[in-house]
Amino acid sequence: MKILKILDKYLICFVLTAVALFQLYNSQFDGLNPWKGGGFGMFSTNKKNNITAIGYTSEGDSVLIKIVGSKLDIPISNNFLRNLKYYPKKEGLLKLGKLILNSHLKPSLLNISEGDIDSKSYNQIKKDSAFYSKVYVPKYYPNTELAKMDNALRIEKIIIHMYEMNFYNDGLKFKKNYVQSLEVHNDKHITYVLSP
Amino acid sequence: MIQKLYSYLNRYNVHLDSKHEDLVFKFSLMLLVLDGGTGWNSQILLRITCILMIVFGHFSSNKLLWAIISVVLLFFNSLQWYSLDNHKILFMYWVFLLTLHLWLNKDVRYIKSNATLLIGLVMIFAVLQKVINEFFVPGFLHGRFLFDGRFLLITHFLTDIPIEELHMKKGLVPTLSWLPIDQSYIEFESSSFLNNFTYGFQLFGLFVELAVGLLFIFSKRKSVIKDISLIAFCIGTYFIFPVIGFSSILLLLGIAQAPLKIRPHYILTFIAIQFIKVPWKEIIYYFENV
């Protein structure tokens, strides 16, 4: 009875505690950003999830994809993408892959100069300059003619690579570390999830 | 029809026993108008409902309208739970609490004791998260001062690194985020002074947060030390970290639990906190370079 009385008196505080503990578990073991989800971890870490993607055309060419959301919810909603970045669950990543597969990708030039990024990565970009010279943005077109005019293309497979970005005081580096990958095909199934 | 709705709603009006409760309800409605919603849909609903409740004062403690506000908040917040700021979540708990207060005919002590505990819990969880995420080692705040746009002018003042250079480096972070290259990084420039300053501030902030949390959980109800610590925390922290939403809800909770003699100090702090919006960093920068 005493427990019921305490529960009656402090129900909301118990709810806050339960949600915060659940958030703590998810942020430590399931990729949820500590800043979000009701655990009061704002301003506690610089760690953030990072989602990158490479698309593959039917001819076998690979293209670098810039994942951006849209206010108009076409093809990727800002809200959906924001939620996914803070808590990248497999179902959400699969949905993201399918949204990109079902949209056109518009190319734009990508310019990375020496000094913008670490020298090892810069050399890799230079070595693979055809791949890194353009970045493709998912875009909605009402018809394929308009897409063709923009040189937009479609892909049949996408690999989403997950990273964790963090600031390292030693060396003052903002660095990304690989976590895992997810492959999504046009016939709407995942073939495999790569381990780190 | 409006007359019918008016008399129907009137049935759910609750008479508040004290001016303190009235102040808390009206203050909460005002914050709901200013910062309650999380998107256009909830903002429109909340602004219309809460403005009418403030204007027609006898509806400010209408239990049906508070229940509707609770449902609206719960529905729209749950749609974007994982991108929601924590102060919006805390505010939602607070609205639930006020709704329960009305429906369960609780007295003012219910509001006071829960507000005290909510402040304590929020502070303790904030500390716990920081401890778990290695906040004791230098780096967190140093990093924020190098790539978070809100702090770049302060970094410029403290290090003399040109602001254009700081913005240029910050602008490289999105590019890095598109590249599928493991171990790729951007290197920042800083000074040992900024490193020491940010680390000192980081540890000081953690200590103050812990102190506020412990004082609110363990000190006596009428103790004013806890109130002084919370007011000092709000003024000291939120003029550097421009997050007016969190300071506002903390001060509202402060008003709700404080004894009469302390309440004006919370209200004055609430007024002072509004000056966070003054772009003082930009003004200093302007006069430095004019």
* Residue listed under structure tokens 């959906």: A80
Residue that has been written with the tokens 């655990």 in this structure: A39
- Report chain A residues whose CB lies below 8 A from the CB of B114: 9-10, 12-13
* Same structural domain, A10 and A81: no
B169/B172 Cα distance (integer angstroms):
5
> Smallest Cα–Cα separation from A50: which of B94, B156, B174?
B174
**How distant, in Å, are the alpha carbons of A63, A82, A181 from that of A193?**
20, 23, 6
Instruction: Please check whether residue A137 touches B, CB under 8 A.
Output: no
Question: Contacts of residue B117 in chain A, CB cutoff 8 Å?
Answer: 10, 13
List, as ranges, residues 70-109 from A with C-beta within 8 Å of B: 79, 82-83, 86-87
Contact A39 B125 (CB under 8 A): yes
Residues paired with residue A161 on neighbouring β-strands, in sequence order: A52, A181
Contact A44/B at CB under 8 A: yes
Residue B8 neighbours by CB under 8 Å, 6+ apart: none
Residue A36: which pLDDT band, with cuts at 50, 70 and 90?
Answer: very high
* Candidates B118, B133, B177; nearest CB to A45: B133
Residue A196, pLDDT > 60, answer no
Specify whether A101 is located in the same domain as A38.
no
DSSP B174-242: HHHHH---TT-EEE----HHHHHHHHHHHHHHHHHHHHHHHHHHHS-TT-SHHHHHHHHHHHHHHTTS-
- Please give the sequence-ordered ranges of beta strands (E in DSSP) within chain B, or none if there are none: 185-187
Q: Please tell me whether residues A98 and A63 are part of one structural domain.
A: yes
Asked if residue A68 and residue A31 are part of one domain, the reply reads: no
Statement to judge: residues A6 and A67 lie in one domain = no
- The single-letter code of the amino acid at A136 is Y
Q: Rounded to a whole number, what is the distance in Å from the CA of A66 to chain B's nearest CA?
A: 6
Show residues of chain A in contact with B184, CB under 8 Å. Answer: 117-118, 120-121, 175-176
Q: How far apart are CA B195 and CA B191, in angstroms?
A: 6
The domain containing residue A50 runs over which residues?
46-194
State whether B176 and A165 contact (CB < 8 Å). yes
Residues A130-148 have pLDDT tens digits of 999 999 999 999 888 999 9
Instruction: Kindly state the DSSP code that residue B82 receives in the 8-state scheme.
Output: G
The contacts of residue B96 (CB under 8 Å, 6+ apart) are A12, A15, B70, B74
List, for residues A56-95, the tens digit of each pLDDT value: 999 989 999 999 998 776 789 998 999 999 999 999 999 9
Distance between CA atoms of residues B102 and A53, nearest Å: 51
* CA atoms of A165 and B247, how far apart (whole Å): 29
Give yes or no: residues A8 and A74 share one domain.
Answer: no
pLDDT of residue B281: 87
Residues A31 and A53 placed together within one structural domain of the fold: no
| A125/A133 Cα distance (integer angstroms) | 9
Task: Say whether both A121 and A183 belong to one domain.
Answer: yes
How buried is B126 (Cβ within 10 angstroms: 0-12 exposed, 13-18 middle, 19+ buried)?
A: buried
**What does DSSP assign to residue A177?**
E
- Residue B144 CB: number of other CB atoms within 10 A? 18
- Say whether both A39 and A117 belong to one domain: no
pLDDT reported for residue B290: 79
Tokens 């009006």: give the residue: B13
Q: Are residues A86 and A40 in the same domain?
A: no
Give the minimum alpha-carbon distance from A111 to chain B in angstroms, rounded to a whole number.
9
Shortest distance between the Cα of B4 and any Cα of chain A, in A, equals: 34
* pLDDT confidence of residue B129: 96
CA distances for A42 relative to A69, A174, B74, B85, B239, angstroms = 23, 19, 21, 8, 16
What average pLDDT is seen over chain A?
91
DSSP string, A57-86: -TTS-EEEE----BTT-SSSBHHHHHHHHH
Per-residue pLDDT of chain B (290 residues; tens, 9 = 90+): 888 988 999 999 999 989 999 999 999 999 999 998 888 889 999 999 999 999 998 999 999 999 999 999 999 999 999 999 999 999 999 999 999 999 999 999 999 999 999 999 999 999 999 999 988 889 999 999 999 999 999 999 999 899 999 999 999 999 899 999 999 999 999 999 999 999 999 999 999 999 999 999 998 878 899 999 999 999 888 777 778 889 999 999 999 999 999 999 999 999 998 888 888 889 999 998 87
Phi, psi (degrees; rounded to nearest 5) at B174: -60, -40
Contacts with A87 from chain B: Cβ below 8 Å: 82
A82 and A173 belong to one structural domain: yes
Listed by start position, the domains of chain B span 14-106, 108-290
SS3 state of residue B123 = helix
- SS3 state of residue B80: coil
Task: With beta carbons under 8 A apart, name residues in chain B contacting A173.
Answer: 185-188
Q: What is the pLDDT of residues A179-194, one digit of tens each?
A: 999 999 877 666 555 6
Total number of domains constituting chain A: 2
With an 8 Å Cβ cutoff, are B183 and A176 in contact?
yes
Number of other residues whose CB lies within 10 A of the CB of residue A47: 17
Using the beta-carbon criterion (under 8 Å), do A173 and B186 form an inter-chain contact?
A: yes
What residues have CB less than 8 Å from A57, skipping those under 6 apart?
A: A63, A153, A154, A155, A156
A22 and A81 fall within a common domain:
no
Which ipTM score applies to this complex?
A: 0.93
pLDDT band at A195 (very low <50, low <70, confident <90, very high): low
Report the alpha-carbon distance of residue A158 to residue A96 in Å, rounded.
Answer: 10
